[in-house]
Amino acid sequence: MIPSIVVFVYLAIILYVGMFAFRKSTGSKEDFFVASRSLGPWVFLLTVFGTNMTAFAILGSSGLAYQRGIGVYGLMASSSGLIIPLTIFLIGTRLWALGKKHGYLTQVQYFRDRWECDGIGTVIFAVTALMMIPYVVIGMMGGGHTLASLSDGWVPYWLGGAIVAIVVMLYVFFGGMRGVAWVNALQTVLFLCFGAIAFWLISRNLGGYDKIMAEIAADPKDSALLTRARISPQEFFSYTFIPLSAMMFPHMAIMCLTAEKVTSFKRTVVWYPICILLIWLPSVYLGIIAANQFPGLKLGESDDVILRLLSENTDVVVAGILGAAIMACVMATDSQIMALSTMFSQDVFAHYGGAKRYGEKVQVWMGRAFVIAIAIVSYVLALALEGQKSIFDLAIRFGFSGFAALAPMMLAALFWRRSNKWGALAAVLWVVFCTGLLWWLQLHSNGLAPKPGEAPVPIFEGLGDLFLRTPMNVTVYGYMPVMFMCLGSAFWMILVSLLTPAPSRAVVAKFFPTSQSANRPSA
């Protein structure tokens, strides 16, 4: 009970921070949805990083390292440390400038203006909103796992998920983006400190780092965890496409609109890779230790291995404090809920006349109502997926892959004058088709999935190695589907844009004012 009580105290503090942000609110839509574009450099850094590090970062990475080994760090952390800061610099700064100039609060508002598309903008909203749901579900699942493990079942999974859902819903409902930013800044500091402390305490209790690594290397069953043997070169390479999702995530794009000055991005670009190192390296390491300490856990059960290590190797109060740090990472899902609320109120309610008819105050309350709806739906889905999906698997297949495949659309909008709405529609439909196909292939091949460490098996004998089933995923000739989704999205964006009419002169002049051809048709 003691670790759970410590976590409950932390949740009460977080709730207070969110309520305090409510007292600072002006009540305007720009204040509620983008904190009046006033976040300073350090709060902006901590918020942008924290909003991208959900349960996927600590629980998901350690759970996958338990199954696949140390190569998990290279799969995501190494590539993310390079690609995400680059996308923040190239895309985030440009989005900030456009939002500041034209008053945009969401990506879809920009896409509608950039490509003069109304209905297609609604399609983009619907697809991105649906792909965000799994990300929110991950937070609910992480909250359930965290409290259930720390309390040794005293707080059941369903209640842990419900507590997270209620706390997040309340401070997002009242505090809006300012509440989310302040809470995220505090939470990011906590879980950045978590890794080093947990690493030191658990290693010391088990005899030291050298002793643990020697034991794992000498064990034929676990020695492969210290190599990349369980990750094929094709899979390893194709994972480098995953970080492209960062700036297509609505919560990341909207967060970029909250910076007070463009200079805030400098600090974020420099410190982001260091923050990734502080989170991912100890989490992957602890997942490998857990494989030696708790053998035989199934996929999905391994998501709570760090919590098991804490419970068995630290004092109950310390376990509670570190559990609160894990909960801080889990609850970073608040920004996803806030993003969905912003998108609904701006891209649907306001766009189709609700704001003009009922006023700005009603628009803000519609956003708050959507917060409640999303929290309830996500919690119900988290209950349905208990024990059936790993957090890492769910995030990669239904969140990161889809948004990464939309990155060519964002790049085309920002940097290619000739891109148009029909190319964007083709790219979105390609992503929808691929996501649906992957979902069907995953269900179809569940009975074929090999055990961790075993070779992938063909899903259809007549198609050879076209579709292979690994313990967790479906691959295409051994590569992660995200690679083909990204390349296909870029292909359709370019081809269809070139085959259909160019944007109007007015659009080109508006979004590319420095171009020498701003006064003549784009070519």
CATH of the domain at 101: 1.20.1730.10
Query: CA of 474: how far to CAs of 127, 236, 439, in Å?
Result: 22, 14, 9
The tokens of 9 are what?
């105290």
Average pLDDT (473-482) is: 91
* In-domain check, residue 359: yes
Confidence label for 389 from pLDDT (cuts 50, 70 and 90): low
More confident residue, 288 or 332: 288
* In-domain check, residue 265: yes
CB-based contact 368:130 (threshold 8 Å): no
Confidence label for 518 from pLDDT (cuts 50, 70 and 90): very low
Residue 64's pLDDT is what? 86
Q: For residue 467, what are the β-bridge partners?
A: 476
Of 114-128, 316-330, 360-374, the range with the lowest mean pLDDT is 316-330
Average pLDDT (315-342) is: 80
* In-domain check, residue 468: no
Residue 288's pLDDT is what? 92
User: Is the pLDDT assigned to residue 55 strictly greater than 80?
Assistant: no
* In-domain check, residue 382: yes
Strand bridging mode 467-469 / 457-458: antiparallel
The tokens of 34 are what?
């983008």
Residue 10's pLDDT is what? 84
Query: Residue 178 belongs to what domain range?
Result: 2-386
Q: Which residues contact 148 (CB under 8 A, 6 or more apart)?
A: 155, 156, 157, 160, 304
More confident residue, 258 or 58: 258
Could you read off the pLDDT of 182-218 as tens digits, one per residue?
Answer: 988 888 888 888 878 888 999 899 988 889 889 899 9
* In-domain check, residue 212: yes
CA distance 90 to 250: 16
Residue 88's pLDDT is what? 94
* Top mean-pLDDT range of 372-381, 410-419, 436-445: 410-419
The tokens of 327 are what?
């909960």
* In-domain check, residue 138: yes
* In-domain check, residue 450: no
Average pLDDT (359-367) is: 88
Average pLDDT (419-432) is: 95
Closest CA to 241 of 394, 107, 132, 83: 83
Percent of the chain past pLDDT 70, that is, above it, reads: 95
Residue 415's pLDDT is what? 95
Average pLDDT (423-441) is: 93
Q: What is the DSSP letter of 517?
A: T
Residue 299's pLDDT is what? 66
Confidence label for 460 from pLDDT (cuts 50, 70 and 90): very high
Structural domain count of the chain: 1
Helix (H, G, I), strand (E, B) or coil at 24: coil
How many residues are recorded in the chain?
Answer: 523
Q: Which residues contact 69 (CB under 8 A, 6 or more apart)?
A: 224, 225, 226, 227, 228, 229, 230, 231, 288
Q: Where are the beta strands (DSSP E) in 259-358?
A: none
User: Is the pLDDT assigned to residue 478 strictly greater than 50?
Assistant: yes
List, in sequence order, the alpha helices (H) in 421-480.
421-445
Average pLDDT (416-423) is: 95
Could you read off the pLDDT of 93-152 as tens digits, one per residue?
Answer: 999 999 999 999 999 999 999 999 988 999 999 999 888 887 788 778 877 878 887 777
Average pLDDT (82-99) is: 94
Q: What is the DSSP letter of 465?
A: T
Average pLDDT (279-300) is: 87
More confident residue, 480 or 523: 480
pTM of the model: 0.86
Q: For residue 259, what are the β-bridge partners?
A: 39
CB-based contact 236:74 (threshold 8 Å): yes
User: Is the pLDDT assigned to residue 29 strictly greater than 80?
Assistant: yes
CA distance 381 to 192: 29
CB-based contact 151:396 (threshold 8 Å): no
Confidence label for 222 from pLDDT (cuts 50, 70 and 90): confident
Residue 521's pLDDT is what? 42
Confidence label for 523 from pLDDT (cuts 50, 70 and 90): very low
Phi, psi of 39 (to 5 degrees): -75, 130
Q: Measure the CA angle with vertex 302, ends 321 and 159; round to 5°.
A: 55
* In-domain check, residue 118: yes
